A and B are shown apart, each in its own frame.
Chain A
Amino acid sequence: MIERRRILKALAASAITLPFAGLFAKSARSAPSVAKRLIVFYFPDGVPAPQGQASRFHASGSELAFSLPENLAPLEPYRSSCVFLNGLSMGGTDAGSHPGGAKKLLTGVDGGGGESIDRYLARTVGAGSPNRHLYFGAMANQNAASGDKHISYPSPGTTVAPEDNPILSFQRLFVPQGNGTQDTEGASVIDTVKGDLDDVRASLEGAERQKLDLHLEALREVERRVKGLSPTCGGAAVDISGIDASQLYSPERFPGVLRAHIDIMVQAMACGLSQVGVVQCSQHTSELIMSRFPATPLYKANFDMRSHQASHYGDPGDPKFADYVAQRTWFASQFAYLLGELQKRPDGTGTMLDSSVVLLCSEVCDGNTHLHDNMPFVLAGRAGGTLRTGRLLSFGYRRHSDLLLSLARAMGDGATSFGQECQGVLPGLFV
């Protein structure tokens, strides 16, 4: 019996002709005026921004002359590609609640009563991609996580679970099911099932019908893969050899799982397999014992400090505060790693970072008070030259719906409003 379930070294090495070259070309716009892809990077339990004290996360200064505090130090090498955002609020409803914040974060609607921006873009500008949406987690489903722990809403009020296992993500994206031969039988199977779906859908109403609409969309995505040639993703190898599928929920393995999922995300996007992705670190009110991350500044032998536990530091004088600050810096360093991977890869006349828009976010502001004002948001990537980066934009009070709308615009979607209290795109953000 296999005790340790691991793939020793899985490679996606040889560059066979991209079967989706045609599709890819279509999605690569002639004018570099919008982002080709959106990646959302989420971490749980907010940031150290104690009342009456300087935030350890928010940038300070003027639009062009600003400094990055401790938490954002890892973003220093990328500051010219980032837009730091202060003063965005998610509104008063459920302020003080982790789940309440997670529900509003990407939907812009109280109680998660809307489709999230990632799902919206996946079905609009991303609709032509072989995989419209990628949703990867690291310990995001731990302990039968309830739906409010997940931030991506395919339909109002409904979340789905991210994939926590990089081996499965790798397999689905890079290990084709066929051998480049067309599955003609599969195509007629899908035609039959589509007929069934249409019939069943017609017998339903309201939310139930919407469920079948989503099912049909999902099947169409399978259909494109079945009727086309199986995609083969060329380029550099993604190394998932360190992943042990039986240890996905050991805190010691968290950094490795997260790293693998970032690598798979970047590689899939580099191949044009998807344009929209979300990486979710853990889950709100996180039990993740970050003091067990090996070979990181967070490591402490025989001492357990969880994310949510540290976030309730009480007073900045409490030793937990230092742990909390260090944890948030670590999350920012993982975001920096993602930016670095994007920057490494040439795309057109620039890099993948230039042609992307990437969002760093959490579900509350300060972890001790859980409030939903001055939310910790950082945008990165030039979005194909659309965004004026290297800036700090500060707003008095503005709903983060405007940020979500701005993401849509950066991706070339023509939406004029998104979420609640939306006034328009963030002023000063676009070129």
Chain B
Amino acid sequence: MKTNLSWTLATVGVSAALGTAFGCGRSGDDAAKADVASGEAQYAALCAGCHGTQGEGKTAPTLRHWTRGEPALAGIIDERMPLGDPAKCKGKCATDVAKYILEKLQGDLVCAAPRPTARGLRLLTRREYRRTVQDLLGLAFATKGGDTCEASFRYDPQGRSVSKVHVAGSFNAWPATTAAGGWPLTLTGAVWTGKRTLPQGQYLYKFVLDERDWIADPGNGKTSPDGFGGNNSVLDVQCGVGGGAADPTTSFPVDTRPEGFLFDDSARGRIVTPVLADEYFRAATTLATVAVGDLGKITGCANLGDEKACAASFVARFGARAFRRPLTGTETARYVDLTSKQGSLASGVRAALRAFLNAPQFLYRSEQGTPQKDGTYRLSGFEIASALSYGLWGTMPDDVLFAAAEKGELDAPEGREKQARRMLADARARETVGTFAEQWLGSENVASATKAAQLYPAWSESLGASMAEETRRFVTSVVFDGSHTYEELVTAKYSMVDDRLAPLYGLAGGSASFEKRDYPDGTRAGILGHASVLTATSHSDQTSPIRRGLFVRRRLLCQELPAPPPNAGGVPKVDPNATTRERFAQHTANPTCKACHQYIDGVGFGFEPFDAIGQKRTQENGRDIDPKGDMNDVEGLGTQTHAPYTGLRELGQILASSRAAKACVVKQYGRFVAGGVDDDACASSDVVRRFEATGGDLREMIVATFASPSFVLRRSAP
């Protein structure tokens, strides 16, 4: 078995004591050693996947605090393990594994050093790309508006006699006739007009008069050569409102999230497909065309007349921002060459912008580092600057960060801490914490949930959108404006409420903007009582104590459970004479189900006073709701503790004082920042210590994540 450097076992005393227990003379000692060695091999092959290489527990409970002796452990292994295939380890195998566990895997683990995450390239997410290109090109995208919008066509014949006009273009494959699909214009007064709804983007078109004469739109000055000696008219369809350039990322494919990973920025799970490459190419072309509209601004050249000098300074200056580090000699030569070969400065700059925005140095941020003596890799100053800015702001570094990187100020924890504190004061940090919160808590997609209208007439997509916004605003408000504490996150007696949410919470009035409002009674507590969470963890026609229990286990406590076995049975059918809790009682009655559901249902039942869209209820199907729950084994599955609670406020208090819950938020935030899951329980130990030492201050947790020595270290990717 491989030695894991980050673990130190504090169990010498235990194993020595067990060693004497086996002592029956020398040969007996040897036999016992052989048994343990055999148990170790079997454990690695059959048990470690679920219980962890050190018995620390992953999808299965921890084994490190076994108190019931060897025969009981061996008996369970013989009878039930590995789960679903107990034939694999019977008799001697079971006793050997039990011996190994009791001799080698007992007691608390002590973390020696955090384990760095894997080195490599991290593709910008869709949201990161959207922010980055705006910062890089000095643009502001319109924030609202759909994927498609209306385009108007108008042809004034100015006295020319025409009996039929249609539009032919790249949007309808250039039909010569209306019968072939040409879009007819209608004569209104003396002018031909028509409207069409189109996906946003750039199109080329012509008017066709009497299905014979193809002409460019005389009312549109923007043209491009048609390849036949004439011109096509250029139509820019931009759906934004309130000004600003069209957002070219609305058609980007979604960011793939590998199994079990909650966040959109997986470093290893996302690749550039042909569709995405196509989108990058199209977006770059559109953005470059917009950007060269102000050549002075984009090049930064005082003298546009000196094209050669301007091209060189543009490539160096813009390139260093696009690639988030100074260009290499090869890159400079390559881009100067492209810029200078396009005929004019404007077209050269456009070509270079297109290339910069398609280049891997732009699309991926590097976290490769340079090799160190101990086998780790250390990030460069510029790599650290990007890691800070994407982690805290979701976009490229600003000038201050670039300068700090250049001066080597980000190599030391103090330098990163100083920058992190500066950056937290910026609105972009709120935005990014909001993104983390909605992905962590699963509230991001609640607007697209489907609910049964006859049961939940109050439900609408816009109510769902308000729920999602509430959670974003609440979490950012706790982190930035409130006490900053984890405790407030799970116990707050208020939330951020607009006029759509107010009636749902039993509050009067409200306005279209979100305001801090106290709940009318003591039944809700922080995010636990958020309509977004309660709705997202329910089905269309009923609540789900299972999903709500798993919400607490997986998202808040980082406790994973295996998938249900075959023949699991699924959701019990709706019974008009029973409460949901009564219907799910079989889970804890049936021993197979109970193995996992003892950790799920009891937690989830305490949420039953809220229906599938988060409205309060005291009865279901005419029967009183039993609001009691049990936050058992809060510090780890298999620890066999009980914490009965009534009402979410009590649950919030239990979580607020739980070490596992605090360690979990650190872990989840670390996953979001690192773009990956680190299985190592030690990964964030230093941040956890600091988080606990500051009384669970979430701002300090954020700062500590970036200041941590391991933040700038990487290991070889597998």
**Residues of A near any B CB (own CB < 8 A):** 1-2, 5-8, 10-14, 16, 95-99, 131-133, 135, 141-148, 150, 154-155, 158-161, 163, 165, 167-168, 171-172, 174-181, 185-186, 188-190, 192-193, 195-197, 199-200, 203-208, 211-212, 214-215, 217-219, 221-222, 225-226, 232-234, 237, 245-246, 249-251, 287, 289, 292, 302, 304, 306, 308-309, 311-312, 314, 318-320, 368-371
Contact partners of B342 in chain A: CB under 8 A: 185, 188
Q: How far is the CB of B519 from chain A (nearest CB, A)?
A: 27
- Asked if B171 is an interface residue, CB under 8 A from chain A, the answer is yes
Contact between chains at A172 and B278 (CB < 8 Å): yes
Interface of chain B residues 440 through 458 with chain A (CB within 8 A) = 444-445, 448-450, 452, 454
A144, A178, A189 interface centre (most CB from chain B within 10 Å) = A189
Contact between chains at A163 and B253 (CB < 8 Å): yes
Further 16 A-B residue pairs, CB within 8 A, beyond A12-B172, A16-B173, A215-B271: A2-B146, A5-B149, A98-B563, A143-B445, A148-B259, A150-B256, A158-B268, A179-B227, A181-B226, A186-B354, A189-B338, A208-B121, A217-B274, A218-B273, A218-B276, A312-B568
Contact between chains at B360 and A197 (CB < 8 Å): yes
Looking at the complex, which one of A1, A8, A212, A214 makes contact with B144 (CB distance below 8 Å)? A1
- Asked if B401 is an interface residue, CB under 8 A from chain A, the answer is no
Contact between chains at A96 and B257 (CB < 8 Å): no
Contact between chains at B170 and A176 (CB < 8 Å): yes
Looking at the complex, which one of B172, B439, B566 makes contact with A95 (CB distance below 8 Å)? B566
- Asked if B269 is an interface residue, CB under 8 A from chain A, the answer is yes
What residue of chain A has the Cβ atom nearest to residue B169's Cβ?
A179
Given contacts A7-B198, A160-B273, contact A144 B445 (CB under 8 A): yes
Give bound CA distance, A143 to B438, whole Å: 12
Contact between chains at A10 and B170 (CB < 8 Å): no
A13, A98, A190, A203 interface centre (most CB from chain B within 10 Å) = A13
Give bound CA distance, A225 to B571, whole Å: 49
Give bound CA distance, A193 to B239, whole Å: 30
Contact partners of A11 in chain B: CB under 8 A: 172-173, 175, 181
- In the complex, 29 of the A-B residue pairs with CB atoms within 8 angstroms, ordered by the A residue number, are A1-B144, A2-B197, A11-B181, A16-B174, A141-B254, A143-B448, A148-B258, A159-B269, A160-B271, A161-B254, A161-B255, A175-B171, A181-B226, A189-B338, A192-B335, A192-B338, A193-B359, A196-B359, A196-B360, A208-B119, A208-B717, A212-B121, A219-B277, A222-B274, A222-B277, A226-B281, A237-B181, A292-B450, A304-B541
Looking at the complex, which one of B171, B173, B272 makes contact with A215 (CB distance below 8 Å)? B272
Q: What string of 1s and 0s marks CB contacts (under 8 Å) between B175-210 and chain A?
A: 110001100000000000000111101011000000
Give bound CA distance, A289 to B444, whole Å: 21
- Asked if B594 is an interface residue, CB under 8 A from chain A, the answer is no
Give bound CA distance, A234 to B181, whole Å: 12
Contact between chains at B173 and A12 (CB < 8 Å): yes
Give bound CA distance, A226 to B227, whole Å: 16
Contact partners of B330 in chain A: CB under 8 A: 199
Give bound CA distance, A165 to B254, whole Å: 11
Given contacts A160-B273, A193-B355, A245-B148, contact A250 B450 (CB under 8 A): yes
Contact partners of A6 in chain B: CB under 8 A: 148, 197
Looking at the complex, which one of B204, B355, B569 makes contact with A189 (CB distance below 8 Å)? B355
Q: How far is the CB of B574 from chain A (nearest CB, A)?
A: 9
Contact between chains at B197 and A211 (CB < 8 Å): no
Give bound CA distance, A10 to B450, whole Å: 29
Contact partners of B278 in chain A: CB under 8 A: 172, 221-222, 225
Contact partners of A10 in chain B: CB under 8 A: 171-172
Looking at the complex, which one of A1, A178, A217, A232 makes contact with B173 (CB distance below 8 Å)? A232
Give bound CA distance, A95 to B563, whole Å: 11
What residue of chain B has the Cβ atom nearest to residue A8's Cβ?
B197
Looking at the complex, which one of A8, A131, A161, A237 makes contact with B253 (CB distance below 8 Å)? A161
What residue of chain A has the Cβ atom nearest to residue B323's Cβ?
A196
